[in-house]
Amino acid sequence: MSPVFSHGRLRLYLLKLLDESPRHGYDVIRLLEDRFMGLYSPSPGTIYPRLQRLEAEGLVTPSQEGGRKVYQITDAGREELAGRRAELDELEAEISGSVHGLAREVRDEVRGSVRDLKEELKQAAREMRRQQRHENRSRRHGHDEHHRWDWRDEGFDGRVQEFLDRTERAMRRVQLTEAQLRECAAILDEAFERIRQTLKTPDEQRHDH
């Protein structure tokens, strides 16, 4: 899963294009290319997920036309567009008014879609590695009782890394307070303590009682 729509400007522009008239995905791509003055053409791989996302949110609705999917804006889509009209006008003025505005728009769009892709590839690679370790383990040992479980084989190192990435992203989104930091630190301590308890050998557990 890629975190599609990390950047909201393209979404606004997609709605505007579909407000003008119902359009097929390829028309949308061609029009976006014009918008970026031919500097950059978004790939189907970046546009289709966005259209599907708009569809899931009920802002556009698809219909079949001669075997092709045509997207049409809904009332909810028009409402969102109307609410953000000023933002859109500002954006349009910026792009048409200067080289800088256009360059910035292209840069933001490229960075946004490339970062989505980076995240998608990273997750896909991690998942493939996890599966491969799993298969190797099954092949080597079968599922017998004497199997030695290895946390790396089970993909725990990947999960820890993923945990760090997700936590970092979540923390970056907010202005952290001291109280929140303390609370998070306490949660980490608690998690570690529980893992330590879980990993105790039977002897240690007996000793505890």
Partner 1 sequence: MASWKLEGSGKLTFDRVDRVVVGIVEGAVSVVGTDGEPTLEVLELAGSPLRVRHEDGVLTVDYERPPRPGLLSWLSGWGRRYRAVLSLAVPRDCRVELRVISASLMVSGLRAPVRARTVSGEITLAGLGGTADAETISGSIEASGVSGDLSAGTVSGDLTVAEGGGSVRAHTVSGAIALDLEASGDRDIQLSSVSGDLTVRLPGISDLQVQLQSTSGQVASAFDELALDRTPGRHAAEGRLGAGTGRLRATSTSGHVALLRRAPETQA
CB 72 within 8 A of CB 22: yes
Query: Does residue number 48 form part of the binding site for partner 1 (CB under 8 A)?
Result: yes
Query: Does residue number 41 form part of the binding site for partner 1 (CB under 8 A)?
Result: yes
Among 133, 154, 162, 184, binds partner 1 (CB under 8 A): 133
Residues 6+ apart with CB under 8 A from 91: 9, 12, 13, 105
Region of 74 on the Ramachandran plot (φ > 0 left; ψ -120 to 50 alpha; else beta): beta
Which stretch in 85-93, 128-136, 189-197, 200-208 sits in contact with partner 1 by CB under 8 A?
Answer: 128-136
CB 29 within 8 A of CB 14: no
Query: Does residue number 69 form part of the binding site for partner 1 (CB under 8 A)?
Result: yes
User: In angstroms, rounded to a whole number, what is the distance separating the alpha carbons of residues 140 and 156?
Assistant: 19
CB 80 within 8 A of CB 19: no
Among 96, 132, 197, 205, binds partner 1 (CB under 8 A): 132
Q: Write down the least CB distance from residue 100 to partner 1, Å.
A: 4
Nearer to partner 1, 98 or 138 (CB): 98
What phi and psi values does residue 24 have, to the nearest 5 degrees?
Answer: -85, 150
Query: Does residue number 82 form part of the binding site for partner 1 (CB under 8 A)?
Result: no
Query: Does residue number 137 form part of the binding site for partner 1 (CB under 8 A)?
Result: no
Binding site for partner 1 (CB under 8 A): 25, 37-41, 43-46, 48, 51-52, 62, 69, 98-100, 102-104, 106-107, 110-111, 113-115, 117-118, 121-122, 124-125, 128-129, 132-133, 136
